[in-house]
Amino acid sequence: MIYDRPYMSTSYDQRAKNILLWLIGINVGIFVLQSVFEVSGLGGQLESWFAMSSGSLGSGKIWTPITYSFLHGNLMHVLLNMLGLFFLGRAVLFDIGSNRFLQAYFSAALIGALAWFITSFLTPANPLGMSGYMLGASAGVSGLLALFACLHPNRDIQVLLFLILPIRVKPKVLAWVALGISGFGFLFSELQGSSDSVAHSAHLGGMLAGWLYFKQIYSKNIEFGGSGGVTIRMPSWLKTKPSKKKQPNYNYKVNISQPRDLKVEVDRILDKINSKGFGALTDKEKEILDEAGDLLKRR
């Protein structure tokens, strides 16, 4: 299998791990900074500037719909979110690439923040929208869960129930359970003005973002280029297939390519995987990777 090739498990895996380690490191580092502020008597200073609140946008803090996702309330909060980010991130990164992964993750965080922002004005206990702070990476992680369930709905995975009991479950089942819990909490707790500190609306917004990203961007091959433009690639089923002419069937093959050219081509393909994911490769590019793997085995 191509997934077992050495060139598919070294440089690409390392790049994917680096992205996750950077995200997790930033989250953990900021949580440590929050703890230091708390001990020094400056608790709440970071939250007042960078957490999401119903009044943050009105006061000009337009960065809070993203920065809130790097703040956490306690050790268990950051631990659970980072575990979810690590395991779901590793699975999703391979399929969609680093650029799309970051787009999907922060889109989920943004839509989760907007969902909570709207909800904060609908709760009867807070008619003026004064509902405190909202923080945590849960919306982004919820988006990754929904996206992973769309990519691999029937793959068997193992999860730790209550962080203790290992069970095997399909991603689509896990996503539906998470959706049901968040939906129930949203309707019967958050909207009722309960003291429950869980932002169920943000979780629902994040899952919606993950599903929309899969349906409207990933499935339709829409790419956001580095120059700020948007590129839309035609789906394969819409492309006009060239007429096939019957060619003589020769039983020999001449390889006139140079090893150096093959290495350059493999490097280019690996860069494409890192940027756009394995699913973006053409059949020809996959054949080149297979050929490169065969050459490595012969050496």
Counting the structural domains of the chain, the total is 1
Domain around 108? 18-224
Distance CA 173, CA 179 (A): 10
CB under 8 Å to 144, separation ≥6 — which residues? 84, 85, 88, 89, 92, 104, 105, 108, 210
In a domain, 70, yes or no: yes
In a domain, 259, yes or no: no
- Tokens 């943000």 locate to 202
161 forms beta bridges with 165
Query: What are the tens digits of pLDDT across the range 136-193?
Result: 999 999 999 999 999 999 988 877 776 677 788 898 999 999 999 999 999 998 888 7
Distance CA 85, CA 70 (A): 12
The pLDDT score that the predictor gives to residue 224 is 57
In a domain, 35, yes or no: yes
Here the CATH number for the domain that contains residue 156 is 1.20.1540.10
In a domain, 239, yes or no: no
Evaluated on CA atoms 195, 51, 30, 35, the torsion sign reads negative
Distance CA 117, CA 120 (A): 5
Residue-level pLDDT, tens digit, the chain, 299 residues? 334 444 444 555 677 778 899 999 999 999 999 999 988 887 788 888 999 988 888 889 999 999 999 999 899 999 999 999 999 998 898 888 888 999 999 999 999 999 999 998 887 655 434 347 899 999 999 999 999 999 999 988 877 776 677 788 898 999 999 999 999 999 998 888 776 678 999 999 999 999 999 998 887 766 655 444 444 444 444 444 554 555 555 454 444 445 557 677 777 777 777 666 666 777 777 778 777 766 665 55
In a domain, 285, yes or no: no
Distance CA 299, CA 294 (A): 9
Cβ contact 122:191 at 8 Å: yes
Phi-psi region for residue 207, left (φ > 0), alpha (ψ -120 to 50) or beta? Answer: alpha
In a domain, 44, yes or no: yes
Instruction: Quickly list DSSP for 117-142.
Output: HHHTTT-TT-TTS---EE--SHHHHH
- The structure tokens listed for 189 are 């707790």
Distance CA 200, CA 187 (A): 9
Distance CA 177, CA 297 (A): 44
The pLDDT score that the predictor gives to residue 217 is 82
The pLDDT score that the predictor gives to residue 256 is 45
In a domain, 28, yes or no: yes
The pLDDT score that the predictor gives to residue 145 is 95
